[in-house]
Structure 1
Amino acid sequence: MRTEEIRQAAIDSHDRDAGKFEEWYHALDRSRFSNAFTYGRSKIDALVGELFGSLPKDGKVLDVGCGTGEHLQRALKAGLKAYGVEPAPAMLEVARRNVPDAEIKQGVATELPFKDGQFDAVIMVEVLRYLDRADTDKALKEARRVLKPGGQLLVTLVNRWALDGFYVLQRARSLVRGKQFDAVNPYCLFHTPASAKRDLKQAGFDEARTEGKLLAPLRIAYKLNERFGGWLASKVERADDAINRASLAQPFAGHLIAVGKVAKR
């Protein structure tokens, strides 16, 4: 029951916040420095763009937890065939309105409504963080199932020891409230680069690697004041990106990105 409650809390949260995500993506179109979401998402989007650029012409991409459809639009612009899965009704409605040329189904990461070996790439952006261990394992195995030989999976995760201190904050919330999640603050599963690679290998991926993004605790600056956060981010961005290239920085980055590859047969 706990696994289902955790999953439903995440769905309810995103169903309620569909409009907010649309606003954030409009802000991202104006400037990646607009707020903490836009700055962090711009770093992830750059990696998603690299993945899309590496795929064959007319390749098929599945966005699991596609939200408002932003990455589906990017896939179509890259000349790819776009498919999405989204469990939150409000998000699903927005995605279908925004991206009518994509095939978007209602569903969950743990039971993907597609046949085996269909996709060249699967992405899960800010999905697994909201699932518990059992659901995460199922979701990774489902992604592996629907990938073609040579296919790739890109997922984002939350670093346990990120310098923004989110793990400490989440632990404090759970101690004060006597529970690990609620409708306002959904459950969060934390990872390290080592655990991310291990999970991908256990799910059947032949190769696994990780990258870190957003090392500087800029989310704290944005929370203090968005204008100040944006100014600070613009000043430290180049140095922060350079430091993130070092493997030693990965365990402390605000975003942990893991990529799993299926061997070509």
Structure 2
Amino acid sequence: MTSKIDWSRRRAVAVHDETARIFSAEYADTNPFDSPFRYGRHLIDQVWAKNVAELPRGAQCLDIGSGIGAYMARLLAAGFDVKGIEPSEEMRRLAADHVPAELVSDGSVLDLSAFKDSQDFVYAIEVFRYLDGADNQAGHRQIYDALKPGGVYFGTYVNRWALDGYRQVVGLRRLKTALGLTPPRYHVEFETPSSLRAKLTAAGFRDIEIRGAMFAPLRLAHKAAPRLATALGQRTMAREGWLSDRPLTRPFAGHLIANARR
């Protein structure tokens, strides 16, 4: 009998096999305003790039859930030593178009023993959302152990109270599944700034910073009126710090971004 934990892990991989080409198409387009995915990634990328700018020359980097290799390609172009872990076979196949295939291996954040005490920078973008709480904690500890002392972790998470209604949608899906109306889709792990800080602290991290990013109602606007949403996004982008990353607005942003140090 498959446990709930085993199911969430396997389903996370299956979802990415199924959607790999969609991710690839999103990364191929550079306009952040006509897609909520690209709008959010643009903001995530700004913080990620600041991390990269502070890395020592020739830093050892590890991409958890490396997908099609988009972030790895940027690091390689900048002269860094980077490896990727990606459990989705289809994602690995597409990654070979962007980075040398031997740099991306089949694996999981739950076993990084091969990288113990060796990495200057470890990042996990939209990974922990698919794993349950126990796997989140185990994965954070694996990342902590993979980092060198003083090494930096960067990760993104789904905000529990984001103003896009996603938590309510997930709740409705779970209800339909419980009633036997629809099969389960995948696990979603929600965080708040305080719960995320507590998890990272428990894993041993220090110098923890939690940011909010993405004016979450844009996701709803893109579903209801895409052209209006594009125009709205062009106005909100410059105001994101005020809309999504103030103490009062951070708990309602579309993304939570964590930075921490071993």
Give, in angstroms, the shift of residue 226 of structure 1: 2.9
Q: Match for 2:232: what amino acid?
A: L
Worse-superposed segment, 169-178 or 122-131: 169-178
**Which residue type is aligned with residue 39 of structure 1?**
Y
Partner of 2:246: 246
Query: Distance in 2 between the 1:218 and 1:179 partners?
Result: 31
Misfit runs of 4+, over 6 Å: none
Partner AA of 1:126 in structure 2 = E
- What is the CA-CA distance between 1:251 and the residue it aligns to? 0.7
Quick one: distance in 1 between partners of 2:213 and 2:20? Answer: 25
| Deviation digits for residues 48-73 of structure 1 (CA, Å, limit 9, x no counterpart) | 11111110011011010000001101
1:194 paired with 2:185, answer no
Q: State which of 12, 16, 19 in structure 1 corresponds to 2:18.
A: 16
Residue identity in the other structure for 1:136:
N
TM-score after normalising by structure 2? 0.93
**Residue 79 (structure 1) shift:** 2.3
1: distance between equivalents of 2:173 and 2:260? 32
Gaps of 5+ in 2: none
Residue 124 of structure 1 corresponds to 124
Shift of 1:258: 1.1
**Pair 179,118 (structure 1): closer, same or farther in 2 beyond 3 Å:** farther
Aligned-pair distance for 1:250? 1.1
**Partner of residue 59, structure 1:** 59
2:94: which partner in 1? Answer: 94
Tell me which moved more, 88-97 or 62-71.
Answer: 88-97
Q: Which residue of 1 aligns with 2:27?
A: 25
1:113–1:26 Cα change, 3 Å: farther
Q: 1:218 to 1:184 in 2, by over 3 A?
A: farther
Question: Displacement, 1:163?
Answer: 0.9
Measure, in 2, the Cα distance between the counterparts of 1:105 and 1:183: 30
Q: How many residues align?
A: 259
Equivalence map 1:82-161=2 (5 Å):
82-100=82-100, 103-112=103-112, 114-161=114-161
Q: Distance in 1 between matches of 2:179 and 2:114?
A: 35
CA distance in 1, matches of 2:74, 2:34: 20
Deviations 1:176-216 (A, max 9, x none): 22189x87732100111011111011111122110000134
Aligned in 2, Cα 1:160/1:63: closer, same or farther, shift over 3 Å? same
2:40 equivalent in structure 1 = 40
User: Any conservation in 1 of the 2:86–2:107 contact (CA below 8 Å)?
Assistant: yes
Equivalent position of 2:7 in the other structure: 5
Contact 2:173 2:184 in 1 (8 A): no
Maintained 8 Å contact 1:52/1:78: no
| Residues 1:101 and 1:7: Cα distance change in structure 2 (over 3 Å) | closer
Report the residue type matching 2:9 in the other structure. R
Q: CA deviation at 1:259?
A: 1.4
1:177 aligns with 2:170: no
Structure 2 vs 1, CA of residues 162 and 206 (structure 1 numbering), >3 Å: closer, same or farther?
same
Residue 168 of structure 2 corresponds to: 168
- TM-score, scaled to structure 1: 0.92
